[in-house]
Amino acid sequence: QDGLEINYIRPAFPDAPVTIDTSGTVLVNGMDRTGDVVAAEWVGIEPGQSMFVELTSPSGSGVGTVTIRDTYL
């Protein structure tokens, strides 16, 4: 699936990381900020599949970490 988007409209800071969970929630320091998402095309990753992720910023700078965890226990 190409071109899927999750658009979080608030600034992100190193001391207040944004966690975007593709189950449909956005957390900042553990607080629910899902209401700050203006576009969301949530997608899961099936076993054996891969996903390309691009992080962009209006300022053109920043740091991001993408973590994909196995939910099949």
Provide the token pair at 16: 């207040």
For residue 73, the model assigns a pLDDT of 54
DSSP string, 17-61: -EEEETTTEEEETTEE-GGGEEEE------TT---------TTS-
pLDDT tens, residue by residue, 22-48? 777 888 888 999 898 888 777 777 778
The reported pLDDT for the residue numbered 31 is: 92
Beta bridge partners of 20: 26
